Amino acid sequence: MAKKILFPLFAIFLASRSYEILKTLWLIEPSEFKLWTKFMLSFLLNLFITGIFAFTGFAYNTNRLLPENYYRIKNKKLITEMSYFLKLEYFKKFLLILFWGKKKNRLKYFNGTKSGLENLDYQTRQSEFGHLAALVIIQLSVIMMIVKKHYFIAFITTTINFISNFYPVLLQRKHRMQIERIRKIQKRKPTEQHSI
C-alpha cells in the first residue's frame, strides 16, 4: 500500500526536476553551456522522464492506459528484422550483465510455471508502456530543444532515448512473441496426447 503513495510522489518529484531542466534549456542560450553540462542535462532528462513512468508503473497497472489491441504482435517479421538490424541480442546481453544475470532477479518475472508466464506477459506490458511513454515525451522535449537551437543536446538526448527506451520497447515485443509461441505449444499438447 505504501508504494501506491510513495512511488507516485517520486514520479511527481522527477516530473518537477524534468520541468526545471526544460525551463533552463528554454531560458539559457546554447553557447552558455559547457560540453560536459550538455551531456549531463541530456542524461538527466532521460533518467528523470523515464523514471516518472517507471515509478508510476511500479505502483499501478499503467499498461491498461493503452488498448489490448496495441499489445498484440501484428508484424512479427518486421520485429524480427529490426531486432537483427539493431543487434538487439547485444542489448539483451548487456541487461543480463547489468541486472538480469542474477537468478533471483529473473525469477521475479518468470519462475517457469504457467502463472509465471502470465506474470511475464504482464511485466512486458508494464515495461513497454513505461518506456514507450518516456520515448514519446522525451522526443517531444527534443522538438523544444531544436526550436531553441540546442542542437547538440537534442542529438545526445535522442541517442540516449533511443538506447534506453526504444530498445526496451522492441525487446518487450520480442518477449511477447516468444510467450505467444509457448502458449500455442501448450494448447497443442493436450490434443497431441489425446490423439496418441
- Per-residue confidence in pLDDT tens, the chain, 196 aa: 778 899 999 999 999 999 999 999 999 999 999 999 999 999 999 999 999 999 999 999 999 999 999 999 889 999 999 999 999 999 988 888 887 666 666 666 666 677 778 888 999 999 999 999 999 999 999 999 999 999 999 999 999 999 999 999 999 999 999 999 888 887 776 655 444 4
pLDDT score recorded for residue 195: 43
Say which residues have a Cβ less than 8 Å from residue 122's Cβ, sequence separation at least 6: 63
pLDDT score recorded for residue 22: 97
- What does the alpha-carbon distance between residue 27 and residue 158 come to, in Å, rounded to a whole number? 21
Say which residues have a Cβ less than 8 Å from residue 45's Cβ, sequence separation at least 6: 18, 21, 22, 138, 141, 157
pLDDT score recorded for residue 7: 95
Residue in this structure with the C-alpha cell 518506456, named with its chain if needed: 131
pLDDT score recorded for residue 97: 83
Contacts 24+ apart (CB under 8 A), 71-78: 71/125, 71/128, 71/176, 73/173, 73/176, 73/177, 73/180, 76/177
Q: Give how far Cα 7 sits from Cα of 55, 61, 64, 160, 162, Å.
A: 5, 13, 18, 24, 25
